[in-house]
Amino acid sequence: MNRQEARARAVSLVDQMTIEEKASQLMYNAPAIPRLGVPEYNWWNEGLHGVARGGTATMFPQAIGLAATFDTDLLERVGDCVSTEGRARYNEMSKRDDRDIYKGLTFWSPNINIFRDPRWGRGHETYGEDPFLSGSLGVSFIHGIEGKGAFKKAAACAKHFAVHSGPEAIRHSFDAKVSKKDMEETYLPAFERCVKEGGVEAVMGAYNRVNGEASCASKVLLKDILRDGWGFEGHVVSDCWALRDIHENHNITKTAEESAKLALEMGCDLNCGCTYGKLMSAVEQGLVTEEYITQSCVRLFTTRFLLGLFDETEYDHLGWLDVATKEHEALAHRAARESIVLLKNDGILPLKTESIHTIGVIGPNANSRKALIGNYHGTAQRYVTVLEGIQNAMSDDVRVLYSEGCHLWKNNVEPLSKPTKADRLAEAMTVCDYSDVVVLVVGLDETLEGEEGDTGNSDASGDKKDLQFPSPQRRLMRSVLDCGKPVIVVNMTGSAMDLRLADEKAAAVLQVWYPGARGGEDVADILLGNVSPSGKLPVTFYRDTEDLPPFENYSMKNRTYRYFTGTPLYPFGYGLTYGKLDVVNATIDDTKCVHVTVSNPFNTPTSDVLQVYIKDEDSTFAVLHPTLCGFRRVSLNPGETYEAEISIGECAFTSVNNEGIRDIYGKNFTLYVGFSQPDERSHELTKQEVIKIPYHI
């Protein structure tokens, strides 16, 4: 069903409703209208990396891990899995007249905010710091969610529009000040692509203000840019209880009725929260006219008709046996394996088990299920921790010893030199003494980094104060890394941490994010060489927060790889493999298509991510450093050669002036083709060449 037909049916249905009935449908928990055959519908569902919060589902790596795959095909398949399992759940629950929260087909995912600062607790819900990568992966995920059938299999939602990335503690009253240049250059591009290329059905506003306007009631964002500028035809939903912030925290209005009026007239169609419960009161006070209520109601029912909620669809056969299938679990394994980033390797990896008799597995995340799942997660049928993955993978000839070593974060305020009564440091060092090699598994979980109100680190409300590991882990790391045995550090976090000590002293360092329910199996496969690591960092790993501007400052100056003037510990786009692919030749034709010859001269099957960066050599408005403009996953067997073609979009040649006007200002460009950034740090770490391609418009 096309949008025109769906809208016509929506108009016909809404015309039969009273104003009270129409107003009721603008709430996320829309009640039934029995006389018109309209069942109740709860719009709130989540599918960030698998169907979330509603029960059993396939659980993929957290979104930041999916970003590290640099794999658009994978993201579309993940989105397709989410909508298949979501539709199956909807069918089964509807049969039993269960239409409650997390049972619908409107998924409030993906989160395509820019992860501009590593302290932001929700950054691991995003696709990283780069607008091009975020937009590319977001579009693919949306295509997977919504499908290509006669009806949408589910509806995706791009959030949080548009300038939103912490701080969590003050998000309900915070005003993000952003320049016109940063807005167009960094904060808007991924959303624009998700609207124009992805055809996303919904857009969610944010809690904070942007340049003085509440995001969920912003004329600039919702009317001037989203509707009038980009031609968005779907519906807009508020973040949950964000409309209440307009009068209670932002103090833009004085009453709930005034907030409802402002949001509705600016184009917020659906209220996750309670404020639109005051719509009829606003009507009685003469603040809101029926015209605006009707407009939003039509938009919402257009979505419901596009989903086929009043029709027979090609998805009606989906049921419980289509949830968490073997095929879906295999896809989750693929995602986890592609997401793991090898940051350092002195040659110890892959492990040579024939010369190992005892492996020590130490650390608070080694046997933690919470460290597998990130946030906004579902319930898996089976979990495999890193410890269990290593135990299962080892032959009977190899002994696996385990010590938790320390708590994840308790007693974090104590000095490093003061162990606690519950400390297991002595046990951990005993394990080190008896081990040939040690796997040290550290990091965070959803209780330490995440959304305000959902985490246990109440002082930071889900954000991190710095890049330091909690003090018990720092004490453990320092001791284990000095134990005299080879140590492999496995970091399970959704964001950059201070890994300087690990980089200095560990034999190898792996960033495995929150790898999904059975991610321990995939970590073991990487350690043993059953799979070569191929993930790339979708964020910069800085040395310290001292290298960064204040968290509350939304200027992009000295933030992310595109503007950072310092030397990162590990750069954006960086990641090692066990083999090595070579870029033999690269050219660009008149259609702006880059042709790349890649070879595998070694005896190891290898996957890697081919990356193309562009630099405007003329314009003073150009981004400071070469910027990602294309990428392609490449997998080659020994001796194999591959010819890759990567089309470079017209937008890559544009820059943004200080008034926020995007145009092609330069004529001379350089493109860089390789398996990393063209910066010195990447070259130093990867020892791989990057080919320069001059290009003149």
Residue 670, CA atoms < 13 Å, CB-side half-sphere: 10
pLDDT at 422 > cutoff 80: no
Q: pLDDT band at 456, cuts 50/70/90?
A: confident
Question: According to the model, what pLDDT value does residue 419 have?
Answer: 55
> Tokens for 519?
């991610």
Any bridge partners for residue 662, and if so which? 656
Task: Answer whether 88's CB lies under 8 Å from 323's CB.
Answer: yes
Task: Answer whether 656's CB lies under 8 Å from 185's CB.
Answer: yes
- Report domain extents, the chain: 326-552, 582-696
pTM attached to this predicted model: 0.97
The one-letter amino acid code at 35 reads R
Q: pLDDT band at 538, cuts 50/70/90?
A: very high
Which of 77, 27, 542, 115 minimizes the C-alpha distance to 296?
27
CA 62 – CA 69 distance, rounded (Å)? 11
pLDDT at 12 > cutoff 60: yes
**Sequence-separated (6 or more) residues with CB below 8 Å from residue 649:** 592, 629
Sign (positive or negative) of CA dihedral 433, 434, 438, 444: negative
Same fold, 326-552 and 582-696: no
CA 405 – CA 148 distance, rounded (Å)? 50
Residue-by-residue DSSP string for 272-317: SSSGGGGHHHHHHTTS--HHHHHHHHHHHHHHHHHTTTTS--TTTT
pLDDT at 416 > cutoff 70: no
Percent of the chain's residues with pLDDT above 70:
98
Burial of 37 (0-12, 13-18, 19+ CB in 10 A): exposed
Strand ranges, E, within 523-637? 582-588, 593-599, 606-616, 627-636
Is 466 in the active site?
no
What is the average pLDDT across 427-437? 98
Give, for 523, the enclosing helix (H) or strand (E).
Answer: helix 519-528
pLDDT at 421 > cutoff 90: no
Q: Which of 185-199, 458-472, 526-540, 581-595 has the lowest mean pLDDT?
A: 458-472
> Tokens for 205?
């506003």
What is the average pLDDT across 119-123? 98
Question: According to the model, what pLDDT value does residue 73 have?
Answer: 98
Question: According to the model, what pLDDT value does residue 35 have?
Answer: 98
pLDDT at 415 > cutoff 60: no
Percent of the chain's residues with pLDDT above 90:
96
Any bridge partners for residue 594, and if so which? 588, 646
Of 239, 269, 463, 679, the active-site residue reads: 239
Q: pLDDT band at 410, cuts 50/70/90?
A: low
pLDDT tens for each residue of 549-558: 999 999 999 9
Residue-by-residue DSSP string for 232-258: --SEEEPPTTHHHHHHHTS-SSSSHHH
Which of 40, 124, 21 minimizes the C-alpha distance to 446?
124
CA 12 – CA 47 distance, rounded (Å)? 31
Q: What is the mean pLDDT of the chain?
A: 96
Taking residue 302's Cβ as centre, other Cβ atoms within 10 Å add up to: 25
Identify the three-state secondary structure at position 35: helix
Question: According to the model, what pLDDT value does residue 131 have?
Answer: 98
**Sequence-separated (6 or more) residues with CB below 8 Å from residue 330:** none
Give Cα 293 distance to the centre of its chain: 33
Q: Which of 174-183, 291-300, 449-458 has the lowest mean pLDDT?
A: 449-458
pLDDT tens for each residue of 168-190: 999 999 999 999 999 999 999 99
Task: Answer whether 434's CB lies under 8 Å from 357's CB.
Answer: no
Classify domain 582-696 by CATH architecture: Sandwich (2.60)
CA 271 – CA 263 distance, rounded (Å)? 9
> Tokens for 447?
């209780």
Give, for 136, the enclosing helix (H) or strand (E).
Answer: helix 131-146
pLDDT at 412 > cutoff 60: no
Taking residue 78's Cβ as centre, other Cβ atoms within 10 Å add up to: 30
What is the average pLDDT across 108-126? 98
Any bridge partners for residue 161, and if so which? 205
> Tokens for 115?
């992860």
CA 313 – CA 320 distance, rounded (Å)? 17
Q: Is the peptide bond before 110 cis (omega within 30 degrees of 0)?
A: yes
Residue-by-residue DSSP string for 453-473: TT-S-TTTTTS-SSSPPPHHH
The one-letter amino acid code at 693 reads I
Task: Answer whether 586's CB lies under 8 Å from 613's CB.
Answer: no
For the chain, give percent helix, strand, coil, nearest 5: 35, 20, 45
Question: According to the model, what pLDDT value does residue 418 have?
Answer: 56
pLDDT tens for each residue of 607-642: 999 999 999 999 999 999 999 999 999 999 999 999
Question: According to the model, what pLDDT value does residue 413 have?
Answer: 45
CA 283 – CA 319 distance, rounded (Å)? 43
Just give the CATH number of 326-552. Answer: 3.40.50.1700
CA 142 – CA 110 distance, rounded (Å)? 8
Q: What letter does residue 169 receive in the DSSP assignment?
A: G
Q: pLDDT band at 31, cuts 50/70/90?
A: very high
What is the average pLDDT across 352-378? 97
Task: Answer whether 542's CB lies under 8 Å from 496's CB.
Answer: yes
